[in-house]
Chains A and B, each alone.
Chain A
Amino acid sequence: AQRVTQPEKLLSVFKGAPVELKCNYSYSGSPELFWYVQYSRQRLQLLLRHISRESIKGFTADLNKGETSFHLKKPFAQEEDSAMYYCALQPDSWGKLQFGAGTQVVVTP
């Protein structure tokens, strides 16, 4: 069965410090991986997806098929990065998203 694991419920970092959110998945095929973000009082929105190979708001994520991981990284955290982050797996191009439980990031000045 497919599964997405985010081991950290809460990550507290200082402004300017690096931040890494862990995401591990289990799936027998080749899924697409996403990171979604939810800022305070806002709706869930796409941050980045593996297939685009983009860097959004300074965040990058590398797919490691050997370790089945898709960790999200940013070298210098900003206060506006404080939010809830969800890793998600999509097995089919049209299909449902399987989300992890989320990691709350708090960036303190």
Chain B
Amino acid sequence: GAGVSQSPRYKVAKRGQDVALRCDPISGHVSLFWYQQALGQGPEFLTYFQNEAQLDKSGLPSDRFFAERPEGSVSTLKIQRTQQEDSAVYLCASSSPKSGSWDEQFFGPGTRLTVL
């Protein structure tokens, strides 16, 4: 079956522009995560959804970052008034956690955002 997909794969934005990044998780996966990966670093957690509920947004770096998953499937990460420090690869991951188990997160290919 299809894995996690993300679009666009590459995005170039001028400083100050708003961008929207899309994630299509694996069908039926309840949990969805967004991570930000700066050059030369490991992925860093941004936010987590269980179905449509955003249960953890502690990793969002500023109020310019906003994520939603209105119907519990597709998710959008929006960055307003982009800054150069927002340049990174944005990864989406989904999983289907069973009660009491540690479930694998399946990652998408990422969206590489470059802010000029």
Contacts and interface: CB of A to CB of B under 8 A. Distances in A.
Interface in A12-49: 32, 43-46, 49
Given A44-B91, A86-B42, A102-B42, A97 B105 contact: yes
A90 B101 CA distance: 12
**B interface residue count range (under 10 / 10 to 19 / 20 to 34 / 35 or more):** 20 to 34
Interface residues of A, number: 22
Contact of A100 (B42, B59, B103): B42
Interface stretch (B14-22, B43-51, B62-70, B73-81): B43-51
B42 A96 contact: no
Given A99-B43, A101-B40, A101-B41, A93 B107 contact: no
Interface of B: 3-4, 31, 33, 35, 40-45, 48, 50, 56, 59, 91, 93, 97, 100-110
Those 6 A-B pairs whose CB atoms lie nearest each other, nearest first: A99-B42, A96-B45, A44-B107, A32-B102, A46-B104, A94-B97
